[in-house]
Structures are given as C-alpha cells and as structure tokens.
Amino acid sequence: MNKPELIDAVAAKTGMKKKDAAVAVDAVLDTITETLGNKQEVSLVGFGTFDVRERAARMGRNPRTGEQLTIPASTTCVFRPGRKLKESVAA
C-alpha cells in the first residue's frame, strides 16, 4: 500500500473526504517525523513503537574489491511492532 492508497482507505473507513483524509494522514506522518527528529520515541499502543537509535562506527568491507573501510557512526529510525500488530500479521 502506498500513500494515496492509504489516504483512500482512511477516507473510506471514516467517511471523510479524500482531501480531509490526506490532511489527516499528512499531519500524523509529520508529527511522527518531527518527534523522531527531536530524538523522542513515538509509541502507538497495539501498533508499535518508533524510536531513534545511534549506530557506532564500525569496520566494513567493499564486496567488490575486498578493501576494508570505516563505516561512520549514524543515527537511524527503528520500528518495533506491538503485540496486536504481530498477532494480526501471524494470523
């Protein structure tokens, strides 16, 4: 499912106009993005948790040449699914 399909599904489930559903979906995604940008956790009970983690620098290897290189430290976003989401996917 892509973003336009998500907007269509939200509009269908809520009875909202597609334009209003698009505003709502954008607002949710923007809020999650801003919160993660502030290095804070977003927890949606039953769905999952978005979090920001620091990755340490590490040694890697270029698969083409075999040359060793240093992969720099970075910040990344992680998602841990909630119990309800795990159960619905496993069913």
The owner of tokens 């801003």 is: 34
24 Cα distance to chain centroid? 17
Expressed as residue numbers, the domain containing 65 is 3-90
Q: How many domains does the chain have?
A: 1
Question: Quick check: 91 pLDDT over 80?
Answer: no
Token pair of 53, please? Answer: 């983690």
Give tens-digit pLDDT for 4-54. Answer: 999 999 999 999 999 999 999 999 999 999 999 999 999 999 999 999 999
Question: Looking at residue 40, which CATH number applies to its domain?
Answer: 4.10.520.10
Whether this model's pTM surpasses 0.85: no
Token pair of 39, please? Answer: 């290095």
